[in-house]
């Protein structure tokens, strides 16, 4: 696997044109999961995607934007413009050294600034640089539609995330403290009050259905789906020709 664990000379001789940047979050995940949950899950998915694509795997960015989890200690965020500038700088440093494809793997559903980051980088740099952003929330949604899990909804710390953590880091999971909770309001209400207004436990889903076996299966499927979504996006961009004055 081509990753940050190699020497610079080894990376030069492998000469990858794709880089993979996983992004996590350090945020509360209910009474039963650690605050590193998003970080741990997207790190495992990133490794799997890199193995399947021969992309250059970067270390996971641990912290992003998670204001919606304010209220208990341990969740850490930065301001969206800071995050915009940081990710843009990282991607542009990759372009400078000849990477022409970057896949951003987002392991936290609340990084809404990723949409303008992705759109601006592509609008300004296509066709020399293409950025594909793969969102874990969309992958979770498709796993639910595939019938891979038993609960109906996964927003936060539910069956999917809990299963994956039971598989990846069981020593950090406290199933005896797990609480199922589906709020009566929709996810957009997180713009108007923290998750604790909608769910006192900070859970949005049904972790009681979780098992380590499901976690293994979910991880494999999430890697497959992540790779196919990434390829779909790059194929779409590669087919574009100049339109008027623009390659975007």
Nearer to Zn ion, 94 or 136 (CB): 136
Query: Smallest distance, Å, CB 157 to Zn ion?
Result: 6
Binding of Zn ion at residue 135 (CB under 5 A)? no
**Of 16-24, 29-37, 80-88, 201-209: span binding Zn ion (CB under 5 A):** 29-37
Decide: 62 and 24 in contact? Cβ < 8 Å.
yes
The tokens of 43 are what?
């790190």
Query: Smallest distance, Å, CB 152 to Zn ion?
Result: 18
Nearer to Zn ion, 38 or 159 (CB): 38
β-pairing, 101-106 with 18-23?
parallel
Residues 34-73 as x/- pattern, contact with Zn ion by CB under 5 A: ---xx-----------------------------------
How many of the other CB atoms lie within 10 Å of CB of 112? 10
Nearer to Zn ion, 118 or 154 (CB): 154
Of 116, 27, 114, 115, the C-alpha closest to 67 is 27
The tokens of 177 are what?
């403290």
Decide: 158 and 129 in contact? Cβ < 8 Å.
no
Of 140, 134, 124, the C-alpha closest to 102 is 134
Residue 173, φ and ψ in degrees, nearest 5: -105, 135
Query: Smallest distance, Å, CB 67 to Zn ion?
Result: 15
Query: Smallest distance, Å, CB 48 to Zn ion?
Result: 18
Which residue number has the CB closest to Zn ion? 38
Q: Which positions lie near Zn ion, rule CB under 5 A?
A: 37-38
């Amino acid at each position: 696997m081509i990753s940050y664990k190699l020497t610079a000379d080894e990376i030069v001789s492998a000469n990858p044109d794709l880089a993979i940047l996983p992004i996590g979050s350090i945020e509360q995940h209910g009474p039963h999961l650690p605050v590193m949950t998003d970080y741990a899950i997207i790190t495992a998915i990133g490794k799997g995607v890199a193995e399947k694509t021969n992309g250059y795997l970067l270390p996971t960015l641990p912290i992003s934007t998670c204001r919606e989890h304010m209220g208990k200690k341990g969740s850490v965020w930065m301001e969206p413009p800071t995050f915009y500038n940081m990710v843009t700088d990282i991607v542009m440093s990759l372009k400078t050294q000849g990477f022409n494809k970057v896949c951003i793997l987002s392991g936290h559903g609340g990084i809404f600034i990723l949409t303008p980051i992705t759109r601006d980088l592509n609008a300004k740099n296509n066709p020399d640089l293409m950025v594909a952003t793969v969102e874990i929330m969309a992958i979770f949604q498709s796993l639910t539609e595939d019938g891979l899990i038993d609960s109906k909804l996964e927003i936060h710390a539910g069956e999917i995330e809990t299963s994956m953590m039971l598989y990846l880091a069981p020593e950090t999971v406290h199933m005896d403290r797990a609480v199922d909770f589906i709020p009566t309001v929709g996810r957009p209400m997180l713009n108007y009050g923290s998750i604790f207004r909608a769910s006192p436990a900070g859970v949005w889903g049904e972790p009681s259905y979780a098992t380590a076996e499901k976690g293994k299966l979910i991880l494999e499927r999430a890697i497959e789906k992540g790779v196919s979504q990434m390829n779909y996006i790059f194929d779409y961009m590669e087919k574009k020709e100049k339109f008027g004055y623009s390659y975007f």
